Amino acid sequence: MTLSQEPRTEPQGSTGDNAGGARGVAQGRGLFDREILLQALNGSFKKLDPRIQVRNPVMFVVLIGTIITFIESISHPSIFSWSVTVWLFLTVMFANFAEAVAEGRGKAQADALRRLRSDTDARIVKDDGTEARIQASQLRQGDCVVCEAGDVIPSDGEIIEGVASVDESAITGESAPVIRESGGDRSAVTGGTKVLSDRIMVRITAEPGHTFLDRMIKLVEGASRQKTPNEIALTILLAALTIVFLPVVVVLEPFGHFAGTSVSVVVLIALLVCLIPTTIGALLSAIGIAGMDRLVQRNVLAMSGRAVEAAGDVQTLLLDKTGTITLGNRMASSFYPVPGHTEAEVADTAQLSSLADETPEGRSIVVLAKERFDLRGREVGDDHAFVPFTAQTRMSGLDIDGHRIRKGASDSVKRWVQEQGGSIPNELDEIVARVSRAGSTPLVVADGPEIIGVIELKDVVKQGIRERFDDMRAMGIRTVMITGDNPLTAAAIAQEAGVDDFLAEATPEAKMDLIKAEQQGGKLVAMTGDGTNDAPALAQADVGVAMNTGTNAAKEAGNMVDLDSNPTKLIDIVQIGKELLITRGALTTFSIANDVAKYFAIVPALFVASYPQLKVLNIMKLHSPQSAVLSAVIFNALVIIALIPLALKGVKFRPQGATSILRRNVLLYGVGGVIVPFVFIKLIDLILTATGAF
């Protein structure tokens, strides 16, 4: 504990303009930051490139349609055909804009991160032990570098010598420094972070261009973004709908001819664009980008969109007990005297035994004794000796004034007492068993050959965690607690926290077997982990969230990294995954449902000339055929803009059963999707009529 000195709390502004607060990468730029909007506007034009457009079959059709109406407008100019052309063009632009806005925030974050990468010098240690300065970008895997207080760590690596406090705020946004030391699971350091104290030797583990920072930049920027399986499936459905509407619209020409009307190309294209699912087609990629971005906002980096999608499907969550379900450290909660002693005596003895115990458990004993019996932590004189905990004795304590006070595991203390000729009270075993059954850890306290009582160390379950598990259950997700505790203790904590199942005395192998068994049954499994021995399980799990404090091996194996290293976040991740899918489904439904109103606007307009009786179908009582068609086209374009915020923020997910979620969303986006356009097309028609041009 050499580094427990005051961490330097100088302002964390050294990492450029992104470290304004506690959120490193995720520092909050609003969804509609002015700068992002301006850039997005610019981006919308760049995306007009047909090579980009062709990737989105729905919008590509709109673009082609726009070109045709444009040509038509030149050859047969009219206010109507020019208006349609302009609004069709705007439809394409709005789609581009949606995507550009979604990308915008990621780009801004990527720029901030890139500044971190700006070339630092590295002090490389050669084989002969001499040091040299080279550029960080020239470091190769296996090189060794030295970093001292004030240095920026040049690349990802493993500490092979020394211990240091490191400021990782540039990456995690967390301003409190963390301790990194050689050996064990806290030896990984990330390029771009800063050493605050001491000196460490680091072996570089990443090739240039493949560091964690590089990957992060690529991710937030969306450069390596690929369509996810579900996105591909949806694109196919949208393409199919687009394809079927082509003949639907094209045959209206001969149909109209047979009926004695000629149908103008501009109107047909307007109808086509209104029918094909432009709303979801325009917003689909924005939804995907925004989903990844929402994770980044919560300081989670998903290595692929596929992982985010899988998160929505997760059916089993493996949660580490410590840190996720319980507060991590056991706390003294009760003192139990054996017959012949009082609770106060236990408290007194226990406190004495723990005076020198700096562990959180030891301190909690001192605190509890103080709270319960107002026993102050006293200053002991010179006439004493601390007995530290060792793996052999499994006890610790204090020798004072001829008393030999010990606390420790039941077996060890019993043996120690018996060795001194003391006797074991009959009731002791029962107390110990009772405490164990309750999921707590019993520590026996003895004064020389005499056993005084038992301290109960309790695992404190986090507040509110039970409710979250209830939510999970409602969502159909099974929670499994992973712990190294014995089955008895595990069962008690599982009961208290409300998890569905537990894996006690968990070894990495047992964890792996559990994941495989769940997957064998067709379930998707999510877990968190940080140690090197977690790596295989992280890789096996469908969603493996590695803690940023963890080892590089763990971070490589998982498909997400939580920069806050907060395992509870797994639950948020599942939620975001679900929101992403719901948003897609809701907007698809909305988009298709909209078509009903558009038909009622356009079909009567198309044929009313030859069949006046069709005006009955004009249930919105739109002013004229031209105003009807144009209103539908304008609605179709504006609805994209109107839905951008929803696409970016996502449809809110409430932890409920599938049926109630479905009912709600069908009503909102299905039934609502049928009704809303009737209202707005009518409104637009009224405005158009007021202009007097149609």
Residues 6+ apart with CB under 8 A from 103: 40, 43, 221, 222, 289
Work out how close the CB of 137 gets to other proteins at its nearest, in angstroms, rounded to a whole number: 40
661 touches other proteins (CB under 8 A): yes
Binding segment (CB under 8 A) for other proteins, from list 125-133, 393-401, 457-465, 593-601: 593-601
Strand partners, 408: 395, 444
315 touches other proteins (CB under 8 A): yes
Helices (H), ranges, 184-321: 212-221, 229-250, 252-259, 265-275, 278-297, 305-313
Binding segment (CB under 8 A) for other proteins, from list 117-125, 309-317, 351-359, 435-443: 309-317
The dihedral through the CA atoms of 655, 656, 657, 662 has a sign that is: negative
DSSP class per residue in 436-489:
HHTT-EEEEEEETTEEEEEEEEEEEEPTTHHHHHHHHHHTT-EEEEE-SS-HHH
**Coil, helix or strand for 140?**
coil
Strand partners, 458: 331
> Is 127 a known active-site residue?
no
Binding segment (CB under 8 A) for other proteins, from list 203-211, 237-245, 347-355, 379-387: 237-245
614 touches other proteins (CB under 8 A): yes
Site for other proteins in 482-521 (CB under 8 A): 521
Q: Which helix (H) or strand (E) holds 5?
A: none
611 touches other proteins (CB under 8 A): yes
Work out how close the CB of 14 gets to other proteins at its nearest, in angstroms, rounded to a whole number: 41
C-beta closer to other proteins: residue 313 or 343: 313
616 touches other proteins (CB under 8 A): yes
Strand partners, 447: 405, 450
DSSP state for residue 542 in the 8-state scheme: S
Site for other proteins in 337-376 (CB under 8 A): none
445: left (phi over 0), alpha (psi -120 to 50) or beta: beta
Q: How is residue 635 written in tokens?
A: 């609605």
C-beta closer to other proteins: residue 213 or 586: 586
C-beta closer to other proteins: residue 362 or 585: 585
Work out how close the CB of 279 gets to other proteins at its nearest, in angstroms, rounded to a whole number: 14
Rg (CA), the chain: 33
Query: How crowded is residue 645: how many other Cβ atoms within 10 Å of its Cβ?
Result: 11
CB 143 within 8 A of CB 203: yes
Work out how close the CB of 312 gets to other proteins at its nearest, in angstroms, rounded to a whole number: 5
234 touches other proteins (CB under 8 A): yes
595 touches other proteins (CB under 8 A): yes
Work out how close the CB of 257 gets to other proteins at its nearest, in angstroms, rounded to a whole number: 7
Query: How crowded is residue 410: how many other Cβ atoms within 10 Å of its Cβ?
Result: 22
Give the count of alpha carbons within 13 A of 42, CB side only: 7
Residue of the chain from 97, 336, 607, 635 that contacts other proteins (CB under 8 A)? 607
The bridge status of strand 178-181 relative to strand 199-204 is: unpaired
Q: Which helix (H) or strand (E) holds 329?
A: strand 326-337
C-beta closer to other proteins: residue 163 or 270: 270
CB 506 within 8 A of CB 498: no
What is the per-residue binding string for other proteins in 105-134, x denoting contact by CB under 8 A?
A: ------------------------------
Residue of the chain from 585, 620, 647, 694 that contacts other proteins (CB under 8 A)? 585
Work out how close the CB of 628 gets to other proteins at its nearest, in angstroms, rounded to a whole number: 14
Q: How is residue 618 written in tokens?
A: 């004009």
d(CA 445, CA 642): 69
Binding segment (CB under 8 A) for other proteins, from list 410-418, 428-436, 603-611, 682-690: 603-611
CB 650 within 8 A of CB 572: no
Binding segment (CB under 8 A) for other proteins, from list 69-77, 438-446, 496-504, 590-598: 590-598
Work out how close the CB of 479 gets to other proteins at its nearest, in angstroms, rounded to a whole number: 12
CB 309 within 8 A of CB 228: yes
At what angle are helices 278-297 and 57-75 packed, to 10 degrees? Answer: 130
617 touches other proteins (CB under 8 A): yes
C-beta closer to other proteins: residue 68 or 596: 596
d(CA 456, CA 439): 10
Work out how close the CB of 229 gets to other proteins at its nearest, in angstroms, rounded to a whole number: 6
What burial class does residue 141 get, using C-beta atoms within 10 Å of its C-beta: 0-12 exposed, 13-18 middle, 19+ buried? middle
C-beta closer to other proteins: residue 122 or 608: 608
232 touches other proteins (CB under 8 A): yes
Residue of the chain from 665, 672, 675, 689 that contacts other proteins (CB under 8 A)? 665
Binding segment (CB under 8 A) for other proteins, from list 134-142, 353-361, 366-374, 611-619: 611-619
Site for other proteins in 555-584 (CB under 8 A): 577-579, 581-582, 584
DSSP state for residue 152 in the 8-state scheme: B
Catalytic residue selected from 167, 214, 320, 542 = 320
C-beta closer to other proteins: residue 554 or 661: 661
Query: How crowded is residue 39: how many other Cβ atoms within 10 Å of its Cβ?
Result: 17
Residue of the chain from 588, 618, 626, 636 that contacts other proteins (CB under 8 A)? 588
C-beta closer to other proteins: residue 193 or 636: 636
Q: How is residue 235 written in tokens?
A: 């694109």
Work out how close the CB of 595 gets to other proteins at its nearest, in angstroms, rounded to a whole number: 5
Residue of the chain from 96, 109, 589, 626 that contacts other proteins (CB under 8 A)? 589
Work out how close the CB of 13 gets to other proteins at its nearest, in angstroms, rounded to a whole number: 40
Binding segment (CB under 8 A) for other proteins, from list 84-92, 93-101, 602-610, 632-640: 602-610
Site for other proteins in 444-483 (CB under 8 A): 473-478
Query: How crowded is residue 54: how many other Cβ atoms within 10 Å of its Cβ?
Result: 11
Work out how close the CB of 660 gets to other proteins at its nearest, in angstroms, rounded to a whole number: 9
Q: In what order do the strands lie in the sheet with 199-204?
A: 131-135, 121-125, 144-148, 199-204, 157-161, 188-189
Work out how close the CB of 559 gets to other proteins at its nearest, in angstroms, rounded to a whole number: 16
Site for other proteins in 241-260 (CB under 8 A): 241, 243-245, 247-248, 250-255, 257-259
Number of residues that bind other proteins (CB under 8 A): 72
Q: Which of 467, 494, 463, 499 lies closest to 655, judged by CA?
A: 467
Q: Which helix (H) or strand (E) holds 416?
A: helix 410-419
Site for other proteins in 365-424 (CB under 8 A): none
Binding segment (CB under 8 A) for other proteins, from list 69-77, 525-533, 557-565, 651-659: 651-659
Q: Which helix (H) or strand (E) holds 672?
A: helix 672-691
C-beta closer to other proteins: residue 3 or 617: 617
Catalytic residues: 320
